[in-house]
Amino acid sequence: MANKTDIAVRSRLLKLTRRLGVIIARYKRLDDPAYVEKTLQNVLNKQLKKYRAQLMPVVQEMFTGKHVDLITADALAEFVQSADKYLDSVKINKSTDKMLTNSIKKEFGTTAKSLVNGMIVNQSAKQRQFKALVISSETGAEEVVAGQVGDIWETLTDKYGQHDTVLFQSGKKIPLETYVDGKAITMTQEAANMVVMSESARNGISIVQFSSHRSGDSCSIHEGKFAFLTKAAKTQFIKDNPDITVAKSFHTVEQVRGDSTHMLKFNCRHRLIPAPIELFTPGQLDKVPESPGLVDSNREARLENEAIQKERAA
Ligand SMILES: [Zn+2]
């Protein structure tokens, strides 16, 4: 979808990514064990504070800037277009638009905040542990050798990452710039899915379909399948439409979000499409597939998903 909005969003984010790179480079000394060793803890604390103060507005701007208005407006127009097939008049007014934009910005802003705060907290813990370990090895029986300090630093870097590392609860580490690059690509999808979730509910649609682009990853088992917006919507639907038995196999969007597939997680490009199957023609309804059982065997992926969700909810 390389439309006008996409181009505007990409160029805006590219500029911000450059600014991010400059700030990260400015604090590179925080990754130097010799520097951290010889610098007083309260000086290091002040530097981390300054580093956060410089990073935060840039990351906030990336997640909640004016480009998010464009993304939301596009997502709304897209929703109207796809829901128009089933509903006579989907009403989207200015206040809905405003409300949606605000709630999307709020959610993205929360993610941005916990992202930056998490990085700083980890680096602070790393520095404090490093200093404690170096001092204890110095006061020990043997004199501390240069190699030992390096080993201590390396072990802590394995645990906490570098000064620009985003750390997931699963232990997976990625550089902040890689994270925001991925976010830039999927921001449009994420906002669109939020719009579909909230506008479907508002317009009496209780089922959505996962888009299909023949992805090669674990998303594929959900491609083209259907899901309920909420558990309550599922209960109500089955009561109201006892003849549509296929609906009993559908999961909720939340269940899919919590499973171990990649669907709707970080870097996923799948979209939700409003799909009121009770309004489908009999021919269309015959083609609605049953949903497969939930996949939840991969512990690693599940932990990572949980971490991302926690980060979203924080
Ligand atoms: Zn996907």
185 & 306 share domain: no
- What pLDDT is stored for residue 308 in this prediction? 56
Owning domain of residue 24: 1-204
- CA angle centred on 211, ends 63 and 67, rounded to 5°: 20
90 & 169 share domain: yes
Please state whether the predicted TM-score (pTM) of the whole model is above 0.85. Answer: no
Instruction: Tell me how far the alpha carbon of residue 273 lies from the centroid of ligand 1, in angstroms.
Output: 14
The three-class DSSP label of residue 230 is coil
pLDDT in tens, 173-223: 999 998 888 777 788 888 999 999 999 998 899 999 999 988 778 999 999
Measured distance CA(174)–CA(176) in Å, rounded: 6
Q: Is residue 138 over pLDDT 80? A: no
Q: Is residue 95 over pLDDT 80? A: no
Q: Which of 204, 229, 262 is the last residue before a domain boundary?
A: 204
- What pLDDT is stored for residue 212 in this prediction? 93
Instruction: Tell me how far the alpha carbon of residue 144 lies from the centroid of ligand 1, in angstroms.
Output: 50
pLDDT tier for residue 140 given thresholds of 50, 70 and 90? low
Instruction: Tell me how far the alpha carbon of residue 23 lies from the centroid of ligand 1, in angstroms.
Output: 32
Measured distance CA(183)–CA(170) in Å, rounded: 19
Please report the sign of the dihedral spanned by the C-alpha atoms of residue 289, residue 292, residue 298, residue 302: positive
- 10 Cβ contact partners less than 8 Å away, ≥ 6 residues apart: 184
- What pLDDT is stored for residue 231 in this prediction? 95
Instruction: Tell me how far the alpha carbon of residue 294 lies from the centroid of ligand 1, in angstroms.
Output: 15
Instruction: Tell me how far the alpha carbon of residue 24 lies from the centroid of ligand 1, in angstroms.
Output: 30
Instruction: Tell me how far the alpha carbon of residue 17 lies from the centroid of ligand 1, in angstroms.
Output: 24
Instruction: Tell me how far the alpha carbon of residue 87 lies from the centroid of ligand 1, in angstroms.
Output: 28
177 & 33 share domain: yes
The three-class DSSP label of residue 261 is coil
Instruction: Tell me how far the alpha carbon of residue 142 lies from the centroid of ligand 1, in angstroms.
Output: 54
